Amino acid sequence: MPAMSGLDLQAHLLATGRRFPFIFVTAFSVESDRARAMKAGATCFLSKPCDGETLIKCLEAALAPNGAAATK
């Protein structure tokens, strides 16, 4: 995204009281970014290319009634 990163968007939405399930999909996986996203409540942090089964599991976790975070 040209104006802000996904991490910036997540932080902005959380700061304004908006709660959404976040699934990060990135071609530039950095451990500190993954840790930051997950600490802030992301459901998943996937590196491209990711397989369909893993993505489906992340979507199921994001849509689960309890909003349980996945471990990826």
Task: Answer yes or no: is 55 within a domain.
Answer: yes
Task: Answer yes or no: is 56 within a domain.
Answer: yes
Please state, for a pLDDT cut of 70, what percent of the chain lies above it: 90
What integer pLDDT is reported at residue 69 of this predicted model? Answer: 54
**What is the total count of domains within the chain?**
1
User: CA–CA separation, 16 vs 10, rounded Å?
Assistant: 10
Task: Answer yes or no: is 57 within a domain.
Answer: yes
Backbone angles phi, psi at 42, to 5 degrees: -60, 145
What integer pLDDT is reported at residue 66 of this predicted model? Answer: 73
CATH number at residue 17: 3.40.50.2300
Task: Answer yes or no: is 1 within a domain.
Answer: no
What integer pLDDT is reported at residue 65 of this predicted model? Answer: 82
* Average pLDDT, integer, range 12-26: 94
Range(s) of the domain holding residue 52: 6-63
Task: Answer yes or no: is 69 within a domain.
Answer: no
pLDDT tens per residue, range 56-72: 999 999 999 875 555 55
Task: Answer yes or no: is 46 within a domain.
Answer: yes
CB 58 within 8 A of CB 43: yes
Q: Which residues contact 1 (CB under 8 A, 6 or more apart)?
A: 9
Task: Answer yes or no: is 30 within a domain.
Answer: yes
